[in-house]
Chains A and B, each alone.
Chain A
Amino acid sequence: MFLLLLSGLWIGFSLMGAGVMGMLMFKLNLPPTISVWDKIGGLLANSIWNSTNSWSLTALPLFILMGEILYRTQISTRLLNGLQPWLAGIPGRLLHINVVACSLFAAVSGSSAATTATVGKITLDELSKRGYDRSIAIGSLAGAGTLGFLIPPSLIMIIYGILSDTSIGKLFIAGVIPGLCLASAYAAYIMVRAMIDPSIMPKEEESHTFKEKIAASRELFPVLLLIVVVLGGIYMGITTPTEAAAIGVVGALALAVWFKNLTVENFREAVLSAVKTTSMISFIIVGAAFLSQVVGFVGIARALSLYITGLGLSPYVLIFVIAIMYLFLGMILDGISIVVMTLPIVLPIVVAAGFHPLWFGIFLVFMVELSQITPPVGFSIFVIEGISGEKVGDILKATFPFFVIMILMVIAITAFPDIVFYLPNQMVD
């Protein structure tokens, strides 16, 4: 597969090709009446249908479209203008925008890809235009975008909750503090970088009086209104998280009409651009779904987790080895498949070693988040490549510090599990 990827074959095709080869190499025990090519082809056709005929995935193009509309109608410029006076006093200034915006959006969307795509579309170009360092902009987007899984609602937590018989409500609550810690750690890193190397941002503009801040905040109003409408719809029980995406699109259109900067031309561009990003990501999802299916048949994930759990390790060494295993699996598989394939074997062992299922759920969400930004199969990286046009290698380099911060966070929740347990323990049973 690495060979296919290196050859410059498009990623979706590389995953499919690897899947086909995996099936050919694997001893399938077929009865004489079924040909191996029919079996592989049938599986492939079925994964194309099954992975795209998905209600929860429909939120993805809609969130992307919403980001495109905001981006093309200068509502995004208003957002940055409005935030600038407030962030001006903080080292790093607008570089914090990705962290702030991703944290807000993570509370709306259940997936990292949607969070990354929406926020990235709004912020990346604006930051470059204003002279901020592109590498940190991209890195912070990749890092903070994965908050989509940690801050509720979260697709991964729902799947984990069902598979592990853990309360989804408690998982959601448990993700809040680690999510905010992670966001703060990113912000702290950006501040430190900005203090060491002021060249990563444009020259300081004149300081702002409080009156100016209030005046500028009026620019924030439209976007805040949109967030309130989308979030309010979910938390007041009017829409499901998936449906909220459609409300977001309608809201963005309404704002664009209100500010009179919606033209037929930029609307057409927004839709076509959303089409491109959507088919690009979905094509990779199709390839990943097929490869995951093959991996399921061949049983790599199963064999690996059986092997590790058979070693008889002490609790912390066990968690360390499991983390390494997930990092490895996270390179080649997508997050949801990893959880589904390994959990039945890993969870009982982890629980027997004395870890709480609730804690392990949050740990697993971190592992899935890491898998989003590790090559060669990392969805956040693909999304960013799609919207920024940067090379994968550059994106990885930019993302690395944030990857390290995430690892440090994993160590922190392992050493101090109360970060996870504090809020759920306040809940009345």
Chain B
Amino acid sequence: EAIKLDLNAVYGATSFHTQGAMDFAKRVEAHSNGSVLITVHPGGSLGFKGPELLKVVKDGQVPMSDILMGVVAGSSHAFGISSLPRLVKSYDEARALYVDSRPLYEKSARRWNQKLLYAAPWPPSGLITKKAIVTRADIKGIKTRTYDKNGAEFLRALGAMPLSMPWGEVYASLRTGMIDSVLTSSESAKNGKFWEVLSHFEPINYAYPLNMVTINLDYWNALSGDQQEAMLKAASETEAAQWKASQARSEEALKAIAAEGITVTPESPELTAELDAAAREIQKKFLKKAKKAEKALLNTYVK
């Protein structure tokens, strides 16, 4: 009889990572000859929000989940690597960093009683704003919604006023002028239809945050060798496809928001220096708390 597994997906059914999870489920079913069936539950409909997911999978409350690494960095330090600002600035660099840090991620996952199956990045985050940002002076005083601690510290160092609020309140707050900018990807800007309220996008390649899919080790060990192999095969295929899709989506979304009237301004060299300086402080702070293995890895990336 087939083994049924539930996969908790945090984002909505049309989201890029949820579609990746559904694609993964299909591949697993095919490779295991229908002996492993994964049900993807999109939109957090199983009632989990994010920061607790590492623990929830550890305890087997849900057998599998997709998890945004940065959100569980408070549980395991290594998962904070991919959300460090401006550590890598292109998909190729992001991929190299992922390959280098994958052993660390696997080890952290194992400590939390789970197996890392695959991980793929969100399209890189940039600034979507009301006025063009060319110099540091333009950043001063903008009221920006950020999604994590690093983003808030980064923008505060640059003189902006970072605010945290649930994604659901972002659109209304942009409309009323409570915030005037968002640190997010071109993809999310497109899905949120931000051209209705904002006019400029600065692709500052702030970060390529990774989203991973893990499985609880008790569930994993209950699978037969063939089934495990089928899952690993599906995972590596989905991973490759998702990395490609992430890049394609990012480029398409950039074109789409431009077509809707958003002006895309490339980063000026002057701004680059300022942004890097602010990012370096955060990277250094992260290194202070890092373990040996993390330090060894990151020293080749932190300049």
A interface residues (Cβ-Cβ under 8 A, vs B): 29-34, 38-39, 42-43, 46-47, 49-51, 55-56, 153, 155, 158-159, 161-163, 165, 167-169, 172, 234-242, 289-290, 292-293, 296-297, 299, 337, 340-341, 343-344
Contacts and interface: CB of A to CB of B under 8 A. Distances in A.
Contacts of B264: none
Given A42-B61, A56-B168, A165-B191, A29 B3 contact: yes
A162 B178 contact: no
B236 interface: no
Nearest to B180: A237
Q: Which of B59, B173, B191 has the most chain A CB atoms inside 10 A of its CB?
A: B59
Contacts of A235: 176
A346 B130 CA distance: 36
B224 to A, nearest CB: 12
Contacts of A292: 47
Given A31-B218, A237-B178, A240-B178, A163 B39 contact: no
Contacts of A31: 60, 218-219, 221-222
A34 to B, nearest CB: 4
A39 B221 CA distance: 17
Given A29-B4, A29-B5, A163-B43, A50 B60 contact: no
B43 A168 contact: no
B275 to A, nearest CB: 27
28 contacts: A30-B60, A31-B222, A33-B222, A34-B60, A39-B59, A39-B61, A42-B59, A42-B60, A46-B47, A50-B47, A56-B166, A153-B172, A155-B168, A162-B167, A162-B191, A165-B14, A165-B191, A168-B193, A169-B197, A237-B177, A239-B178, A240-B169, A240-B173, A240-B178, A242-B169, A296-B41, A299-B39, A344-B12
B168 A50 contact: no
B186 to A, nearest CB: 15
B49 A340 contact: no
Nearest to A38: B59
Nearest to B56: A46
A237 B13 contact: no
Contact of B218 (A33, A237, A344): A33
Nearest to B1: A29
A49 B49 CA distance: 11
B160 to A, nearest CB: 17
Contacts of B196: 167, 169
A310 B174 CA distance: 40
B121 interface: no
Contacts of A155: 168
Contacts of A290: 47
Given A46-B56, A293-B47, 15 more contacts: A46-B52, A50-B47, A50-B48, A56-B166, A162-B168, A168-B193, A169-B171, A169-B193, A237-B178, A239-B178, A240-B173, A296-B47, A337-B45, A340-B44, A340-B45
Interface string B202-241: 0000000000000000110110000000000000000000
Contacts of B89: none
A162 B45 CA distance: 14
Nearest to A35: B60
Nearest to A53: B49
A33 B63 CA distance: 13
B172 A341 contact: no
A169 B45 contact: no
A56 B170 CA distance: 13
Nearest to B173: A240
A163 B13 contact: yes
Contacts of A162: 12, 167-168, 191-192
A50 to B, nearest CB: 6
A29 to B, nearest CB: 5
Contact of A237 (B173, B221, B222): B173
B61 A46 contact: yes
A32 B175 CA distance: 53
B280 to A, nearest CB: 32
B261 to A, nearest CB: 10
B273 interface: no
Contacts of A49: 52
A34 B218 contact: yes
A224 to B, nearest CB: 21
Interface string B1-15: 001111000001110
Given A169-B171, A340-B45, A236 B176 contact: yes
B99 interface: no
Which 3 pairs across A and B sit closest by C-beta, in order of nearness?
A237-B177, A344-B13, A31-B222
Interface string B32-62: 0000000101111111110010001001110
A235 B173 CA distance: 9
B206 to A, nearest CB: 22
B165 interface: yes
Nearest to A172: B172
B300 to A, nearest CB: 39
A241 B169 contact: yes
Contact of A297 (B46, B193, B218): B46
Nearest to A161: B171
B142 to A, nearest CB: 14
Contacts of B56: 42, 46
Q: Which of B3, B13, B48 has the most chain A CB atoms inside 10 A of its CB?
A: B13
B176 A168 contact: no
Interface in B108-149: none
